[in-house]
Structure 1
């Protein structure tokens, strides 16, 4: 399925009549990595959420090369501060697969594989809420990547991590990119 280009024309996000983002004119071709840089409060996170479809636009248009519902099935988002459900590591990673109707056994098998890929294979049954910051970010990446998205939106995934954890996250992202995300 061809998702790109993604074209934004005059895209605007407002809250209480204050413009948070826009107007934005942008075309993403789908190849490589695109990075948004700017000062705190510039609207980077809001822009990413708008592109992902979790923040409603107040003006302009945003068009994928395929129907929106199809585009949404093939993308994922990792927040700066990942949300941990009060479940085990394996069940956190399996959750998006279960939402798509994949059987529990298959979802848990795929989740275990992804946990291993990101370095969490030894703590599958640990409660996700008990993980360190780096472990939480790895879990969030595994939960996003387990669905094998074509597009991965990342909101400062290494912001609060030390050097070693940052390198580990960067390595996971490099492998994901090489695999077609």
Structure 2
């Protein structure tokens, strides 16, 4: 990974000295709980509008940055889709692809069970809380098609599959709610 991407995190001193959390604002600090199944989950966020951004430049997130959780729930991945809205919070690393490779393809690849089982999980240091070091993340080996067009084509295909899965999950949830409502009405 270190050959094709810049991997970094928010250092502890940066957080304690320069980050101020609040419940309102515009700039979101992405925490581990905000990254799940390839998506940013923004229903429980902390804002950092009052923070010293000049001291947090390496934590600023841009389009196509890959977020990767490395403490606690290790291995959750999501990709940033807009500029000027997000910064790193503790326990989340930023992977910024510096080669001509596709960040979207890499993020899909990192979400596979094969990658998690063969690359991520063997490197996890277990103590009271599972964790990966930045050094180990930089050592990740990723099998990438040489051709960028092929990477983009595969990423687009996987995006469409994710979209279909989301649509079907919404239908399933709606049907479950209908069933629950009917059962509730039957036994009143």
After TM superposition, the score normalised by the length of structure 2 is 0.24
Q: Which has the larger radius of gyration?
A: 2
